[in-house]
Amino acid sequence: AQTVTQSQPEMSVQEAETVTLSCTYDTSESDYYLFWYKQPPSRQMILVIRQEAYKQQNATENRFSVNFQKAAKSFSLKISDSQLGDAAMYFCAYTSTGTASKLTFGTGTRLQVTL
């Protein structure tokens, strides 16, 4: 079974600084997809960034970028120029491509942004 591990329950970053959230996963599949979701206090789940496993190039979305290391099964999220609005729970998630595939989430990292 696929598992997703986030080893940092909480992280803190100062406004305008850079922070990296860690994620590792376990799978025997060769074709899969990885995601980071953000859940602010409003509890809405917001897709931040997506990575296709067969692409070596790391995905980027404005201030958000990933460091995807396929051999190490590592998928970290870097947030640059942190803003107060970035404060939220961040979830790493994995899915494969089979018919009965499902989005499997890590336990989340709570990010605090300080002035």
Partner 1 sequence: DTAVSQTPKYLVTQMGNDKSIKCEQNLGHDTMYWYKQDSKKFLKIMFSYNNKELIINETVPNRFSPKSPDKAHLNLHINSLELGDSAVYFCASSLGTGTRGYTFGSGTRLTVV
Judged by the rule CB under 8 A, the positions of this chain that interact with partner 1 are: 33, 35, 39, 42-45, 47, 50, 52, 89, 91, 95-105, 107-108
Q: Considering the complex, state which of residue 13 and residue 35 has its C-beta at the smaller distance from partner 1.
A: 35
Residue with smaller CB distance to partner 1, 16 or 47: 47
Closest separation in Å from C-beta 62 to partner 1: 17
In the complex, minimum distance from the CB of residue 32 to partner 1, in angstroms, rounded to a whole number:
9
Quick one: which of 55, 84, 82 has its CA closest to 70? 55
Determine the 3-state secondary structure of 85 from DSSP: helix
State the alpha helices, DSSP H only, in the chain: none
84 contacts: CB under 8 Å, gap ≥ 6 = 15, 113, 115
Nearest-angstrom CA–CA distance, 64 and 51: 12
Cβ proximity to partner 1: between 43 and 115 the closer is: 43
* DSSP, res 59: P
| Nearest distance in Å: CB 70, partner 1 | 16
> Whose Cβ is closer to partner 1: residue 83's or residue 98's?
98
